[in-house]
Chain A
Amino acid sequence: MTRTRKLMQENNAFERALNPEFNQVLTDMVVYLRSAPVSEYNQELVRRDIGQMFLDAQLRGEAPEDVIGEDYRQFCDQVLAEVPRLTVRERILDGLSTGLLCVGVWGVIWLFNRGMLSWFLPGAVGRSGWPEIPVTTGDVLMTVLILAAAGYLFHSVSRAAFSGSSNLLLVKTFLALALLLIVNRVFDNLLLQLHFGAALAGIVLCLVLSRVLEYFADR
């Protein structure tokens, strides 16, 4: 287990002692910190420090605003200004690790949809294929679009952590989903037939490489 995962588990455990008010504020802060250009380890260190401050304040019968003032975002920005930024090496490793994890997870969903479902329910899925799975231009475009949309949504949600729920974000999510469905339907020309074993090996490789890079990024 990496030092970040260990710290994350410790933070998750002690956060259960926080009351809902403190917990909500800390959750919003963590969501905001997640998209900052600082390492996950440093994010967890800050989370631990603020969590400790909150626990002490809770015992004293204080509210979150008594500890960090009323402008939570400003507090987070002041903290982030003092936390070391990611180096170029860390940025590359972190980006590759996250990218490969996303591709791997998306690959599992895609394989299940194209491989497993079409095997069991060829009529329902419309394109059967087992063990050779057809890959269309739409699949490739959808993979690129869905990863870009996921990254965009992640940053949007993180930046809007203190703004409450956003209807605009919800609309954007639905528009993105609609676009993905259209792309997948329109670009349905066959690119290649991929063997189930090769697809599975590719996915496993992505997930393993992601963990290896995460390990090196965390040192």
Chain B
Amino acid sequence: MIPSQLLKGTLEGCILAVIRKKPTYGYEIAQQLAAYGFGRIAEGTIYPLLLRLEKSGAVRAELRPSELGPNRKYYALTDRGGEELAAFMASYAELTGAVDRLLADTQREDEEP
């Protein structure tokens, strides 16, 4: 289980990556993330982030018919969202590279007699 504090800064970018595959809705995004090993993320955690992404123009919402109740809201990536995803991927690669180097160094020091 990934600690929520660690997840916080990356979830928005990860949601963009899921949406890039195909237009999708909140619950399906949560399922996709769980399948990638993120653990159980409640739809209620994802919904405010989707609202934020929609407000910033990174995703576009579209209503599609649902079997029950009102139409379901599907989210698709916009050009701006694609740019944000690319920026996230670059920043994340930089971060993981730095963390990897630091942790490898720490591990080496621990192993030295």
Residues of A within 8 A of B (CB): 10-11, 14, 17, 48-53, 55-57, 59, 66-69, 75, 78-79, 81-84
In the complex, how many angstroms separate the beta carbon of B34 from the nearest chain A beta carbon? 13
Is residue B72 contacting chain A, with contact meaning CB distance below 8 A? Answer: yes
Q: Assess whether B51 is in contact with A79, with CB atoms less than 8 Å apart.
A: yes
In the complex, how many angstroms separate the beta carbon of B56 from the nearest chain A beta carbon? 10
Q: Assess whether A68 is in contact with B42, with CB atoms less than 8 Å apart.
A: yes
The SS class assigned to the B binding surface is helix
Q: Report how far A40 CA is from B30 CA in the complex, Å.
A: 29
Residues of B within 8 A of A (CB): 26-27, 42-45, 47-48, 51-52, 55, 66, 68-73
The SS class assigned to the A binding surface is helix
Q: Assess whether A69 is in contact with B42, with CB atoms less than 8 Å apart.
A: yes
Given the contacts A66-B42, A68-B42, A11 and B47 also touching, CB distance less than 8 Å:
no
Q: Assess whether A14 is in contact with B26, with CB atoms less than 8 Å apart.
A: no
Contacts of A81 in B (CB 8 A): 48
Q: Assess whether A68 is in contact with B44, with CB atoms less than 8 Å apart.
A: yes
Q: Report how far A29 CA is from B52 CA in the complex, Å.
A: 19
In the complex, how many angstroms separate the beta carbon of B51 from the nearest chain A beta carbon? 4
